[in-house]
Structures are given as C-alpha cells and as structure tokens.
Amino acid sequence: MRIVLLGAPGSGKGTQSQRLMQQEHIPQISTGDLLRAAVARGTELGRKAKEAMDGGRLVADQLVLGLIRERLAEPDARRGFILDGFPRNLAQAQALDRLLATLRQPLDLVVQLEVDYGELVRRIAGRRTCADCGRVFNLFTAPGQLSENEVCPRTGSAHRLIQRPDDNEATVTERLRVYDEQTRPLIEFYRARGLLRVINAEGEVDEVTRRLEQALHAIERPKAAKTARASTRKLGSPKRSAPRRGASRRAAKSASGMRRKAAATARAASKGKPPRRAPDGTRTGTRRGARRARR
Ligand code: AMP
C-alpha cells in the first residue's frame, strides 16, 4: 500500500498515519519529522531548513526531495509507505511521480483529510508531542488520551510532552496560508489522476480512522478483483487440480459426458455404424429406436 495523506496542518495526518502504520506495518514518512530531526541533530540540511520552518514557510524543494529520495530507498519502504506532509506543492508532486515511476512503485491512493479552518486552529493550539516516542496528543480535542496510566514505550515512564515551536499563533496563520496557496492545488492534481478520496476528518479520532479505512478499501477492492480474475483464468486452464464443487462439478461432468458421446459418435461414424441418436435427439442405434423408426 503506497498512499499520501493530504491535509492542512492540524488535519490529523500525523495521528492517522501513526495508527495506519501500526495496522498495516508500513512506515510513516513525514517530511516534517525528518526535517525536525535534522534540525535537532544540527546537520547542514537542518540549519538550512530551520529558518523556513520557524517562519511557517516551505523548506526548499531540493532539500526535501533529497530527504524523500533517501528515505524511500530504505528497505522497509519496499513493502509500502504512508507519505505524511509530502508532497506540499506541484513541483514536489511531479518529482514524486517521476521518482516512483523509476522505482516502479506508483501511488495507490491519495486521501485528503478535510477539516474546517476554526477547528484546525484549535487542534494546533492543543497539540503536544512526546519528546521521546513522538506520539501526538491533544489537550483540547482528545484530553482522555492523556491518562496517568499511559507510559512512553521508549522510556517506560510518563510521556514527556512538548509543544512544537512552530505551533504558535503567528506561524499557524502563515502555515495555513501556505497550505491554501501551494498545497491545496494538489487536490485537483490527484483528482485528475483518479487517485483522490476525500474524507471528513472532523469528530472523534476513532471515527476518522474508520472513514480512512473505508477509503483504503477502495484500493483493496480493485486489487481483490484483479486476483479473482487471475484465478478465474487459472480455473479455465486444463491442468487444474483443485476439486470442483456443486454446480461447477455438475457442469463439468455434463460437459465431459457430452465430449465422450461426441467422440463415440465420431468413432461409430468412422466404422460405418449409424449414430445412436438422430439430430433431433431420438435414439436410432437401439432396438427401441429402430421400432420407433419403423412405426
Ligand atoms: P509538518 O510537520 O508537516 O507540519 O511540517 C513542519 C514544517 O516543516 C512545515 O511548516 C515546513 O516548514 C516544513 N516542511 C515539512 N514538509 C515539507 C515539505 N514537503 N516541503 C517543504 N517544507 C516542508
């Protein structure tokens, strides 16, 4: 499964891709997380990215594309991936198309998480992340998740919650403006390619996960149909070994019976004997058939 989660900051891409990652056992690839890790390590890329990130603007395409190219080349991405926060503009989407074409791993689906503007701002203001395991919490929209029994799987103690430096009011406004201007056009880009599904991403987190799973079934159905067509072709092949069942067995029996009768008729004809059945289906090669013929 190779999918992109598209949506404004605060639409729940991170939360939903973390859930999906555990369910599908495929990696979540978040360019935001990769960039934050580079900033934290103080690498050259991190230093170059920091200014744009602090201002809520997009980091230069070449830097982000370099990160994505490296990440997609890692072995765990061969089974599939969830792209979270990438692509962010048309140039990145086109570059991703080219990269995936070379890897022969085209996208299966792009899911757009739709959330109202006011709700986005509320979610971003309440967002906190565990500094150790990276799990995302929300003080306002999901306070129940912060129970005292919850422990960080990395440290074994309580989660160490921090607020992202770019989750402040001024930066949020700029990030939402950048989203409208540069990322929103990707909705049409992917719709035109027949890859887009839009889901309502407001409401309970579990409910949004359910909607997302429904959208993902759209990938599995055509795949299942393809597999079924392939196995139907196999069923028609003469070397089948699986036992036939019910109606299919009866149909096969009657077909093979007809083939045997046709072969017998052909053998009899070659020996000069009259066929046992006339073209109208009456028996001709039996005594009863002969009596009927005389009458
Ligand atoms: P996110 O965690 O996805 O909200 O990203 C945080 C910040 O990282 C964004 O505001 C951008 O400055 C930067 N960023 C993340 N992904 C990209 C991307 N695909 N292209 C450019 N900048 C990005």
Tens-digit pLDDT profile for residues 28-54? 999 999 999 999 999 999 999 999 999
**Using CA atoms, how far apart are residues 95 and 60, in angstroms rounded to an integer?**
13
% of the chain surpassing 90 pLDDT: 63
What stretches of the chain adopt beta strand conformation (E)? 2-6, 28-30, 81-84, 109-114, 127-130, 136-138, 161-162, 196-200
Calculate how far, in angstroms, residue 220's C-alpha sits from the geometric centre of ligand 1.
30
Q: What is the pLDDT of residue 229?
A: 64
Atom of ligand 1 nearest to the CA of 56: 10
Whether 229 is catalytic is no
Average pLDDT of 103-119? 95
Question: What percent of the chain stands above pLDDT 70?
Answer: 74
The predicted pLDDT at position 192 comes to: 97
Q: Give the H/E segment covering residue 64.
A: helix 61-72
**pLDDT for the residue numbered 224:** 62
Is a pLDDT exceeding 50 seen at residue 10? yes
Mean pLDDT estimate for the chain? 81
Higher-confidence position of 135 and 209: 209
Q: Which of 17-31, 176-190, 250-264 has the lowest mean pLDDT?
A: 250-264
Nearest to 1 by CA among 10, 17, 14, 9: 17
Q: What is the DSSP letter of 12?
A: S
Is residue 210 part of the annotated active site? The answer reads no
Taking the C-alpha atoms of residue 141 and residue 169, their distance in angstroms, rounded to an integer, is 17
Note the pLDDT of residue 144: 78
- CB-ligand 1 contact for 86 (6 Å cutoff): yes
Q: Calculate how far, in angstroms, residue 108's C-alpha sits from the geometric centre of ligand 1.
A: 23
Tell whether ligand 1 has an atom less than 6 A from the beta carbon of residue 35.
yes
The one catalytic residue in 19, 71, 135, 175 is 175
For 103, counting Cβ atoms within 10 Å of its Cβ (0-12 exposed, 13-18 middle, 19+ buried), the class is middle
**pTM summary value:** 0.73
Q: How far is residue 40's CA from residue 165's CA, in Å, rounded to a whole number?
A: 12
Is 70 exceeded by the pLDDT of residue 67? Answer: yes
Closest ligand 1 atom to residue 33 Cα is 2
Catalytic residue among 88, 123, 128, 135: 88
- Collapse the DSSP code of 167 into the 3-class scheme (helix H, G, I; strand E, B; otherwise coil) and give the result: coil
Q: How far is the CA of 180 from the centre of ligand 1 (A)?
A: 14
Which homologous superfamily does the CATH classification assign to the domain defined by 2-231? P-loop containing nucleotide triphosphate hydrolases (3.40.50.300)
> 């083939």: which residue's tokens?
259
C-alpha–C-alpha distance, residues 162 and 105, integer Å: 36
13 is catalytic: yes
Residue whose entry in the numeric block shows the structure tokens 């989750």: 167
> Ligand 1 in contact with 5 (CB < 6 A)?
no
- pLDDT, residue 262, reads 40
Residue 206 vs residue 258, higher pLDDT:
206
Q: Is there an atom of ligand 1 within 6 Å of 7 CB?
A: no
For the chain, domain boundaries = 2-231, 262-295
pLDDT at 169 over 90: no
In this predicted structure, what is the pLDDT of residue 26? 95
CB 136 within 8 A of CB 13: no
Please pick, among 2, 36, 71, 127, the residue that the annotation labels catalytic.
127
Decide: 175 in ligand 1 pocket, CB within 6 A. yes
Per residue in 228-280, pLDDT tens?
666 555 544 443 333 444 434 443 444 444 444 444 433 443 444 444 444 33
Residue 168 has a pLDDT of: 86
Q: Are 205 and 119 in contact (CB under 8 A)?
A: no
Give the model confidence (pLDDT) of 68-105 as tens digits: 999 999 999 999 999 999 999 999 999 999 999 999 99
85 lines ligand 1 (CB under 6 A): yes
Q: Which residue has the higher pLDDT, 65 or 239?
A: 65
- Residue type at position 117: Y
